[in-house]
A and B are shown apart, each in its own frame.
Chain A
Amino acid sequence: MILIAAMSLPFLSKIPIDLPPIVSVELIQITDKTNIPFAPKAKKIIEKVKKKEKLVSEQAPPKVVKKEKPDAVPLPDENIEKVKKQEDKKQNPEKIDTEVKQVSEFEKQELFDPNNIAALIDKSKEETAETKYKTDKVTQDQEKSVDMLGLSLSEEDALKAQIFGCWSIPLGLPYNENLLVRIKLRLKPDGSVIRSEILDHARMNKPGQGFYKVLAESALRAIQLCQPLRVPTTGYERWKDLQLNFDAREMLGG
């Protein structure tokens, strides 16, 4: 009884993790947002064009433009949707989106990515560090506590270093605003991303939050570019769910 209680004590002290339903990145409807006309005038033109069924192949041209100044008219996506359907049958290129390409282990070993040399070096460092750690006669209880706490410092540093290199910070963002983007990931054992979810997703499409949207998109691009993420080789259960907090204030404030 005491043993069971002692082993579960850390759990009692913490609030049970409430995992919100994970939303796929696919659900970020950027296209829908950009379809909102920039000006009321443009909106009227679009609606007019939509009413005309004949213009299926045309991409919403304003028919009569008196002004010499160019008018910005958002394009409808009808044609693009059509093309999507056709291409889906052949190549289905969009499905690479958040899921990892199905590359076999054999193929993986053969692939040599010069960009990952740093990763390989770092991992070798970690491995030597791990061996050293084990030879230092760390007890099983201590190992367990590391497991329960999260990533070790070196593991966290390796992951951070990888993402630092992938994240192109949008330099136009104001440094004095609340620009923290929290992204929750579900990872595969090899570090590739199964799902990603922006925790403050509602902010993305709120009026006046254009900066947040730009930052969130840059963070998602960084994750896509970096994957597979440089995660520890062991303890998958520990880090399969990971939250990355992208905070650009330090960089933009300088």
Chain B
Amino acid sequence: MKFRYIFLLIVLLPIKAFALIEVDITRGNLSPLPIAVSPLSIDEESKENFRMILKKKNIGSEISKIVENNLKQSGLFNPLNKDAFLQKPEIANLKPRFEDWALIKAQALVTGKVTSVDDKLRVEFRLWDVLAGKEMMALAFTTVPTNWRRVGHIITDKVYERLTGEKGYFDTRIIYVAEEGPKTNRIKKLAIMDQDGFNTKYLTLGNELVLTPRFSPTNQMVTYLSYFRNLPRVYLLDIETGVQEVVGDFAGMTFAPRFSPDGKKIIMSFAMDGNSDIYTMDLENRLVERITNHPSIDTSPSYSPNGKYICFNSDRSGYQQIYVMKSDGTNVKRISYGKGLYGTPVWSPRGDLIAFTKLHKGKFFIGVMRIDGKGERLLTENFYQEAPSWSPNGRVLIFYRETKTDAKGEGFSAKLWSIDLTGYNERLVETESDASDPSWSALLSN
């Protein structure tokens, strides 16, 4: 009986059968994604209205240029030349002809429309998947016309997030020390600008030396160090309101104040009697707490994003190296073991990496390592560069680089540079004057 069933099964089933073939795709190309940013269409009336208010001929084109420039600077996108576009912006905005965009090798397309509504700027935009012929995202913004640059940055953030899977970093600001004059007698002012180098504003007059401005990770507060009658003072500055206050006068040298992840504390180092240790200050009650107590020099503290750990540099092993400890100062552990000296460690907002400056054989490197010290990668090398600061999404680092002076003592300059985690996308960040000590803000809009 049993054999009869087996026989029937054998006879009835087809002789030839195929298993499903599986192919593993484990590699891809890392070249920038070709994207077409169509100029935002605008009707004549709105165009004229915004021309009067903003003194811009075509605000739709201007906004799309911002988006295009941001995407290009990220290194992850290749915005295609507008001359190759076959479809007009006003038609593309309604319904893209995907064949036309595929023909110029675009894989994604941004279209949109600008209108004037009660003297306000209303911007709609859509992101399209050209190859699938589908809409991926559609959003509209209404704001005061003077915010037009921010609208461009916000659109970029949304497009970036939708296509890469991580938050953008374009609607952000950078605070830095603007420098002028000869190297021996520099005038240093606190300055702030959009991440693309526009809208520069000076926050101090240059009468006093300013150092190490740092943005709060939660809001638009800045802490920085300034010298008043040769005494270091830690200041708090609200960028939105312009209100500034002194956190405290500290005896001895004070270095590198930096916010805790919740923005409620400041962590910094004080040098007293030749010994530098790490302290925190509660911004509500101004209570100071000592975190390290060691005869060595402990400086440059930076919190992990969850606030549970602190990385800092110390010469307790004989050479300046990076250490990690719990936020109460216990369980101190050295993590850097490479050749050379390590400094200015900064914990990534993602929490997975620590950026640092390394000095080895007379050259300066900006690099990253995992939080256990493994996987060290040096991203860039130069004569002199330091002070990396993370973009809010943890993908890009901004730092400053100085050039050598020549025999006559001329030719010195300090400029801001950025580099992404791949190490390939290194760019000069344009500033109005020489610049140092940059710090990247959190996203202005979430």
- Interchain CA distance A87-B11 in the complex, whole Å: 54
With CB as the reference atom, state the residue of chain B lying closest to A245. Answer: B24
The answer on a CB contact under 8 Å between A221 and B98 is no
- Interchain CA distance A68-B150 in the complex, whole Å: 11
The answer on a CB contact under 8 Å between B445 and A70 is yes
**Is B26 an interface residue, CB under 8 A from the partner?**
yes
Q: How many residues from B make CB contacts under 8 Å with A?
A: 65
**Is B140 an interface residue, CB under 8 A from the partner?**
yes
What is the number of contacts between chain A and chain B, taking CB atoms within 8 Å? 220
The answer on a CB contact under 8 Å between A70 and B25 is no
The answer on a CB contact under 8 Å between A168 and B23 is no
Nearest-CB distance from B117 to chain A (Å)?
6
The answer on a CB contact under 8 Å between B20 and A80 is no
With CB as the reference atom, state the residue of chain B lying closest to A79. Answer: B94
The answer on a CB contact under 8 Å between A247 and B24 is yes
With CB as the reference atom, state the residue of chain B lying closest to A220. Answer: B132
The answer on a CB contact under 8 Å between B95 and A210 is no
- Interchain CA distance A184-B23 in the complex, whole Å: 10
The answer on a CB contact under 8 Å between B25 and A150 is no
A119-127, A130-138, A200-208, A233-241: which lies at the B interface?
Answer: A233-241
**Is A243 an interface residue, CB under 8 A from the partner?**
yes
Nearest-CB distance from A205 to chain B (Å)?
14
B29-37, B269-277, B317-325: which lies at the A interface?
Answer: B29-37
C-beta contact mask, B112-144 vs A, less than 8 Å → 1, else 0? 000001001010101001011111111111111
The answer on a CB contact under 8 Å between B165 and A214 is yes
CB-defined contacts of A73 to chain B, threshold 8 Å: 139-142
Given contacts A4-B15, A30-B134, A73-B139, 20 further A-B contacts (CB under 8 A): A8-B15, A62-B142, A70-B142, A70-B154, A71-B143, A72-B140, A73-B140, A75-B139, A93-B98, A97-B133, A160-B25, A164-B27, A166-B29, A184-B20, A217-B132, A219-B25, A221-B107, A222-B25, A244-B25, A246-B25
With CB as the reference atom, state the residue of chain B lying closest to A247. Answer: B26
With CB as the reference atom, state the residue of chain A lying closest to B164. Answer: A172
- Interchain CA distance A219-B27 in the complex, whole Å: 11
Nearest-CB distance from A203 to chain B (Å)?
14
CB-defined contacts of B141 to chain A, threshold 8 Å: 70-73
**5 tightest A-B contacts by CB?**
A172-B166, A172-B164, A167-B28, A214-B165, A75-B138
Nearest-CB distance from B410 to chain A (Å)?
41
The answer on a CB contact under 8 Å between B133 and A7 is no
The answer on a CB contact under 8 Å between A70 and B150 is yes
The answer on a CB contact under 8 Å between B30 and A239 is no
Q: How many residues from A make CB contacts under 8 Å with B?
A: 87
The answer on a CB contact under 8 Å between A83 and B133 is no
With CB as the reference atom, state the residue of chain A lying closest to B115. Answer: A61
**Is A17 an interface residue, CB under 8 A from the partner?**
yes
- Interchain CA distance A74-B124 in the complex, whole Å: 9
**Is A251 an interface residue, CB under 8 A from the partner?**
yes
**Is B262 an interface residue, CB under 8 A from the partner?**
no
CB-defined contacts of B132 to chain A, threshold 8 Å: 25, 28, 97, 217, 220-221, 224
The answer on a CB contact under 8 Å between A30 and B129 is yes
- Interchain CA distance A160-B24 in the complex, whole Å: 8
With CB as the reference atom, state the residue of chain B lying closest to A62. Answer: B142
Some 16 contacts from A to B, beta carbons below 8 A apart, are A5-B10, A8-B10, A61-B117, A70-B147, A70-B151, A168-B30, A168-B33, A170-B163, A171-B30, A173-B164, A184-B20, A221-B131, A239-B21, A243-B22, A244-B25, A246-B25
CB-defined contacts of B393 to chain A, threshold 8 Å: 172
Q: A164-B29, A214-B165, A243-B23 are in contact. Are A77 and B18 (CB under 8 A)?
A: no
- Interchain CA distance A49-B429 in the complex, whole Å: 43
**Is A159 an interface residue, CB under 8 A from the partner?**
yes
- Interchain CA distance A124-B151 in the complex, whole Å: 52
**Is A21 an interface residue, CB under 8 A from the partner?**
no
Q: Which of A12, A69, A70 has the most CB of B within 10 A?
A: A70
CB-defined contacts of B30 to chain A, threshold 8 Å: 168-169, 171, 251
The answer on a CB contact under 8 Å between A96 and B99 is yes
CB-defined contacts of A167 to chain B, threshold 8 Å: 25, 27-29
**Is B52 an interface residue, CB under 8 A from the partner?**
no
The answer on a CB contact under 8 Å between B135 and A245 is no
List CB contacts (< 8 Å) of B411-433 with chain A.
422
Q: A70-B151, A221-B131 are in contact. Are A87 and B23 (CB under 8 A)?
A: no
- Interchain CA distance A30-B133 in the complex, whole Å: 11
